[in-house]
Structure 1
């Protein structure tokens, strides 16, 4: 059930799941100090760059695909769109789970508070070693993340109540990747995509944890009272 909701959420480009009925049941529209204010989570603004080529295991195959499909730039844009959607989905899942656990009512619009966030993110591949084996060449390396994440909590009029900038570099998120390129022409084995997605998931986990103090129900009540 949760997976289908998250799929619809990612397609819609949202980072919150409308829970107006739950908000009403909990008195979420700021009915007094005992109530947690309702929250709208705005769609993320994501600027994302990924390595080119995205997968280095079979460059000839990539070039053939590029020729048929409009060029290497289009292949890169397809990868950027895929990773952007994945980042949306992961942040939606982590935020939903935290806010649901804290009984913070989420609404589609007209919330007492609004959460806005943005990514300026780059994925970098670092080649550590190339090792020739009997029947394949082994490429070993790591992917790292660099950039910034910003978020702000605002009131209905758009006045910032809490703002924070997180340096993604300081989080030192990295994952190892391996590429096996076979000498006999077999398809290569490349886990770069899995490594990048794992790094993005780790990043989201770190970022939501860094937001928890400002998303605490007591803090939200204090902000709504400003």
Structure 2
């Protein structure tokens, strides 16, 4: 079940500084075969590129905004911040919920293990076609994702115990978008941003699923004993 937006944003803030959960049983130290080691989740390093214009069919509006003291590059950076925040929020939610289910004690620093993630991502918009109507054009297509995700589980000394690279192209994530562009300049309907966010959410779900085996409590105990 999806967590409400406010909770996601709060969890995203936790992710940016590292999760913090108090563990009274072990006080943040590795204590034995029956105790789950503490884990630091480092802030995910995200590099994302998005198409320009970000919203299909809204180039004239974007140019008008740029003419009012802004710039197209500023608009793109704003979009990048929006999608980066969305990714942090989704990652925080999915990871927190899974690790909470596994009863893994999360600490801000000096954990027995550290999880580091790197995401290099490109959002690509594919135009399928434009259908002319009486007073508007209907643009439709899909957005896809490509890039690479890498995560590393390491111990206190920095030795990598488990790591994995995932080719995002192979996940074949695709979401349809529609944009209605009126001939008279009226503001149209465009769900490109929603389609991109939906694709990013699907990506996060698949990435966390790919990490789950190595984030199980039993597996973390095995890794901490190495």
Q: Smaller-chain TM-score range?
A: over 0.9
CA contact under 8 A between 2:14 and 2:92: conserved in structure 1? no
Aligned residue number for residue 177 of structure 2:
177
Aligned residue number for residue 12 of structure 2:
10
Residue 33 of structure 1 and its aligned partner are, at CA, apart by 0.7
Q: Which whole-Å CA distance do the structure 1 matches of 2:126 and 2:172 have between them? A: 14
Q: Which whole-Å CA distance do the structure 1 matches of 2:14 and 2:67 have between them? A: 31
Aligned residue number for residue 218 of structure 1:
218
CA contact under 8 A between 1:175 and 1:198: conserved in structure 2? yes
Residue 15 of structure 1 and its aligned partner are, at CA, apart by 7.0
Q: Which whole-Å CA distance do the structure 2 matches of 1:124 and 1:206 have between them? A: 19
Residue 9 of structure 1 and its aligned partner are, at CA, apart by 4.1
Aligned residue number for residue 40 of structure 2:
40
Q: Which whole-Å CA distance do the structure 1 matches of 2:224 and 2:24 have between them? A: 17
Residue 13 of structure 1 and its aligned partner are, at CA, apart by 5.5
- Secondary structure of the 2:218 match is helix
Deviation track 1:188-221 (CA, whole Å, cap 9, x = no partner) reads 1000000000000000000000101111111100
After superposition, the Cα gap between the structure-2 partners of 1:2 and 1:148, relative to the gap in structure 1 and judged at 3 Å, is same
Residue 14 of structure 1 and its aligned partner are, at CA, apart by 1.8
Unpaired stretches in structure 1, ≥5 consecutive residues: none
Moved more, 125-134 or 25-34: 25-34
Aligned residue number for residue 164 of structure 1:
164
Aligned residue number for residue 116 of structure 1:
116
Q: CA RMSD in A?
A: 1.8
TM-score by structure 2 length? 0.93
- Secondary structure of the 1:213 match is helix
CA contact under 8 A between 1:28 and 1:35: conserved in structure 2? no
Residue 11 of structure 1 and its aligned partner are, at CA, apart by 4.3
- Secondary structure of the 2:185 match is coil
Deviation track 1:96-150 (CA, whole Å, cap 9, x = no partner) reads 0100011111111111000000011000000001000122100000000000000
After superposition, where does 1:96-107 map in structure 2 within 5 Å? Answer: 96-107=96-107
Q: Which whole-Å CA distance do the structure 2 matches of 1:156 and 1:72 have between them? A: 44
Aligned residue number for residue 71 of structure 2:
71
After superposition, the Cα gap between the structure-2 partners of 1:13 and 1:36, relative to the gap in structure 1 and judged at 3 Å, is closer
After superposition, the Cα gap between the structure-2 partners of 1:77 and 1:121, relative to the gap in structure 1 and judged at 3 Å, is same
Aligned residues: 224
Aligned residue number for residue 136 of structure 1:
136
Residue 81 of structure 1 and its aligned partner are, at CA, apart by 0.8
Q: Which whole-Å CA distance do the structure 1 matches of 2:126 and 2:210 have between them? A: 27
Aligned residue number for residue 149 of structure 1:
149
